[in-house]
A and B are shown apart, each in its own frame.
Chain A
Amino acid sequence: MKQYEYLAKAVLREHGIPTPAGRLVRTPDQAYEAVAAIGPAALKAQVLVGGRGKAGGIRFASTPDEARTVAQAMLGMNLKGYTVEQLYAEAKLEIQQEFYISVTTDRNRKVPLVMASLKGGVEIEEVADDDIVRQWVNPRVGVLPYFGRELAARLGLTGVIAKELADLVVKLYQIYRERDAELVEINPLAVVDGHLIAADARLNLDDSALFRHPDVERIDEGSALEQKVHQIGLAYVELDGDIAIMANGAGMAMATVDAIQYFGGKPANFLDAGGGASVEPTAQALDVLVSMNPKVIFINIFGGITRCDDVAKAILQVKATRGIPVPLVVRLVGTNEQEGVRLLEEAGISAYSDMAPAAERAVMLAGEGRA
């Protein structure tokens, strides 16, 4: 779960990492007051997308009046698909140098990874490999000050800045570990008046560990529909096509989306109805697909733990209650297949046993596909 910049900065401050003075503002008047209090400031849109500066999401105001005008223009604007509802007014910095630092998890080595560079201020992916210093953390040892001193030395830093960096790495790792972060990143890590200060911050938390952090505000960055399905407890991603898809298991759901595209169709969504979902959640999931008003609905089930008769019952339940007014293509194999297929056939729905012809049929019914 990504955190807004202002929340990430608050966490940095709590752990003793220097950040510029700042205030969250939701109205032009609040922007006026913020700049009156902290002086010339950057007004930064609080949205969860990268590259917001280039997209016009960061503007400057030297006076309170200017802040009000700028905030008026920014609040409500559309930034890469997100509506700007909050701005973070932050004291403008006279930046001498821009560094990069982050702690994240190295999936291959299965340990935390610290990355640092003297060429910060741009996305780390754009920095040449030779300009990035990487140090892996032994989780049994953690990050002690020597780790930071070594990092500073390898970056070629000396004096006060080296000392401050060593201290900062220790704190950054504490945040990563104690807050269950997937990523904690400061970019740019700015040098102002000869000292380090976190000019921007990213903090992504591990969704699976949120139970340990009841105070953290839950942010669902999905679309309205995605949020609705997430609340049912299902994994759902909106795509821009018109063939609605349901499958069981994340890998199968991905493969099903791929199969629709393979035959030239346009998938409307990714929906994992669960590896072992019973009648009710399956019916709820199907209900969501019907509400999307797609051209075709394609259900692809390989019944392992999922029982085909449960899936059939869910389909019949939705058909009997809200109705399914669009063509439905069902592929149903595995556990209790015969019973499932029989239930569907009684209701006039024929099921496929192979994935390929079923996907092809769904694409054809949508009037899409390769000629």
Chain B
Amino acid sequence: MAIILTKQSKILVQGITGHQGRFHTRQMLAYGAQVVGGISPGKAGESVEGVPVFDTVAEAVQQTGADASIVFVPAPFAKDAAFEAMENGIRLLVMIPEHVPVQDSIDIVTRAEELGVIVIGPNTFGIISPGEQTKMGIMPNHIYRPGPVGVVARSGTLSYEIAFSLTNGGFGQTTVIGMGGDPVVGQTFISVLHQFKNDPATQAVVMVGEIGGSAEEEAAEYLKSFGKPVVAYLAGRAAPPGKRMGHAGAIIERGRGTLESKEKALTAAGASVVTMPWQVVDALREAMGSH
């Protein structure tokens, strides 16, 4: 079992002939994802890793019945690609590019809400469902195992670190999802937690957050009625205020977005909050054991 992305998802790759698109198409296929087509204007008729290339999403959807798409085009073109996908019936959209203008992201998520499209990202590593052996994203295949833990993260490599420690600690994963490091992204901790709550295979959840915004504080309110054990690790303890820590969204602005405020809220809501990434597994063992 998994959330959002299942084996049935038929996936397109927008920007499939680029360096990243090509490489990750190969990785996704190797993992078992059902990649059915790629988009690259002007390159219809070509194929990448055996996947047919189309000029438009419209043609690709018509020919393949695709319902999901992963976007690899450069950030200035991301809005165009996202709208092309959504207007042509794509209902799960993963936006990999970093540096998408915030106004474009606002437009994308606004339209997505109208159409009922699930947007993951922008500036995300994507989503992987180990139990279903499928993924839409750029995460390394070998670090995940099927199992009972859902993971929701804001950042990529840090989530790899934690997912790998879960795997090594004997905790496989239902689905691991990266919300993205930008200020405006398609998912919130709450929207993802809600899916994990309704997924019978997910027995516990690990949240990987960071400074900036108030997504963790909002999530804390929801956690009070969540009903499954939650372990949270947040990065940015040593971050000075007013400085962007790599992610556009990771900044303490005018006293808001601090780690203290987030940890306090999550702890009060009953989550087990750890200070360092290597403490997640023990905390999870304890939380699952006592639950």
- Given the known interface contacts A182-B102, A355-B277, A355-B278, the answer about A254 and B239 at a Cβ–Cβ threshold of 8 Å is yes
Task: Convert B242-257 into 0s and 1s, putting 1 for each residue whose CB lies closer than 8 angstroms to a CB of A.
Answer: 0111111110001110
Of A107, A139, A249, most B-chain CB atoms within 10 Å: A107
- Given the known interface contacts A105-B184, A108-B213, A254-B250, the answer about A125 and B255 at a Cβ–Cβ threshold of 8 Å is yes
Do B214 and A108 have beta carbons less than 8 Å apart?
yes
Do A258 and B276 have beta carbons less than 8 Å apart?
yes
Range for the number of chain A residues in contact with chain B: 35 or more
The docked-state distance in angstroms from the alpha carbon of A18 to that of B142 is 60
Which of A22-30, A60-68, A207-215 has 4 or more CB atoms under 8 Å from chain B? A207-215
The docked-state distance in angstroms from the alpha carbon of A235 to that of B247 is 9
The docked-state distance in angstroms from the alpha carbon of A140 to that of B157 is 35
CB of B237 within 8 Å of the partner chain: yes
Do B106 and A275 have beta carbons less than 8 Å apart?
no
- Given the known interface contacts A108-B188, A180-B102, A267-B238, the answer about A251 and B159 at a Cβ–Cβ threshold of 8 Å is yes
Of all chain A residues, the one with the shortest Cβ separation from B140 is A304
Which of B37-45, B60-68, B82-90, B148-156 has 4 or more CB atoms under 8 Å from chain A? B148-156
Do B102 and A206 have beta carbons less than 8 Å apart?
yes
Do B110 and A110 have beta carbons less than 8 Å apart?
yes
Which of A107, A110, A206 contacts B214, CB < 8 Å?
A: A107
Which of A177, A180, A239, A251 contacts B154, CB < 8 Å?
A: A251
- Given the known interface contacts A110-B184, A249-B157, the answer about A139 and B240 at a Cβ–Cβ threshold of 8 Å is no
CB of A356 within 8 Å of the partner chain: yes
Task: Convert B153-191 into 0s and 1s, putting 1 for each residue whose CB lies closer than 8 angstroms to a CB of A.
Answer: 111111111001000000000000000010110001000
Do B276 and A262 have beta carbons less than 8 Å apart?
yes
Do B188 and A251 have beta carbons less than 8 Å apart?
no
CB of B103 within 8 Å of the partner chain: yes
A215-257 with Cβ < 8 A to chain B: 235, 237, 239, 247-255, 257
The docked-state distance in angstroms from the alpha carbon of A138 to that of B249 is 22
The docked-state distance in angstroms from the alpha carbon of A157 to that of B241 is 36
Of A209, A255, A261, A305, most B-chain CB atoms within 10 Å: A255
The docked-state distance in angstroms from the alpha carbon of A161 to that of B213 is 33
Do A302 and B110 have beta carbons less than 8 Å apart?
no
A147 shortest CB reach to chain B, Å: 17
Do A208 and B237 have beta carbons less than 8 Å apart?
no
Do A177 and B238 have beta carbons less than 8 Å apart?
no
The docked-state distance in angstroms from the alpha carbon of A335 to that of B106 is 35
Do B161 and A255 have beta carbons less than 8 Å apart?
yes
**Chain B residues whose C-beta falls within 8 Å of the C-beta of A140 in the assembled complex:** 110
Do A334 and B140 have beta carbons less than 8 Å apart?
yes
**Chain A residues whose C-beta falls within 8 Å of the C-beta of B32 in the assembled complex:** none
Which of A107, A177, A250, A305 contacts B181, CB < 8 Å?
A: A250
B150 shortest CB reach to chain A, Å: 18
**Chain B residues whose C-beta falls within 8 Å of the C-beta of A251 in the assembled complex:** 153-159, 181, 208, 210, 235, 246-247
The docked-state distance in angstroms from the alpha carbon of A177 to that of B249 is 19
Do B160 and A272 have beta carbons less than 8 Å apart?
no
- Given the known interface contacts A250-B155, A356-B278, the answer about A257 and B214 at a Cβ–Cβ threshold of 8 Å is no
Which of A212, A335, A356 contacts B140, CB < 8 Å?
A: A335
CB of B107 within 8 Å of the partner chain: yes
- Given the known interface contacts A105-B183, A206-B102, A250-B155, the answer about A237 and B238 at a Cβ–Cβ threshold of 8 Å is no
Do B254 and A123 have beta carbons less than 8 Å apart?
yes
Do A248 and B103 have beta carbons less than 8 Å apart?
no
Which of A110, A124, A305 contacts B106, CB < 8 Å?
A: A110
The docked-state distance in angstroms from the alpha carbon of A325 to that of B237 is 30
**Chain B residues whose C-beta falls within 8 Å of the C-beta of A207 in the assembled complex:** 99, 248
CB of B109 within 8 Å of the partner chain: yes
Task: Convert A109-134 into 0s and 1s, putting 1 for each residue whose CB lies closer than 8 angstroms to a CB of B.
Answer: 01110000000000111000000000
The docked-state distance in angstroms from the alpha carbon of A75 to that of B119 is 50
CB of A100 within 8 Å of the partner chain: no
Task: Convert B72-103 into 0s and 1s, putting 1 for each residue whose CB lies closer than 8 angstroms to a CB of A.
Answer: 00011000000000000000000000011111
Of all chain A residues, the one with the shortest Cβ separation from B183 is A107
A258-290 with Cβ < 8 A to chain B: 258-262, 267, 270, 272, 275-276
**Chain B residues whose C-beta falls within 8 Å of the C-beta of A235 in the assembled complex:** 244-246
**Chain B residues whose C-beta falls within 8 Å of the C-beta of A334 in the assembled complex:** 140, 143, 160, 164
CB of B261 within 8 Å of the partner chain: no
Task: Convert B206-240 into 0s and 1s, putting 1 for each residue whose CB lies closer than 8 angstroms to a CB of A.
Answer: 00101101110010000000000000000111111
A282 shortest CB reach to chain B, Å: 14
Do A125 and B254 have beta carbons less than 8 Å apart?
yes
What are 11 A-B residue pairs whose CB atoms fall within 8 Å in the complex? A108-B213, A125-B255, A180-B101, A237-B243, A250-B181, A251-B157, A254-B210, A254-B238, A254-B250, A267-B238, A270-B239
7 interchain residue pairs of minimum CB distance = A251-B155, A250-B246, A249-B157, A251-B158, A209-B101, A254-B235, A235-B246
Q: A residues within 8 Å of B by Cβ?
A: 50, 105, 107-108, 110-112, 123-125, 138-140, 177, 180, 182, 206-209, 211-212, 235, 237, 239, 247-255, 257-262, 267, 270, 272, 275-276, 302-306, 333-335, 354-356
Given contacts A255-B235, A355-B161, list 8 more A-B pairs with CB under 8 A.
A107-B213, A180-B103, A182-B102, A249-B158, A252-B161, A257-B238, A262-B275, A262-B276
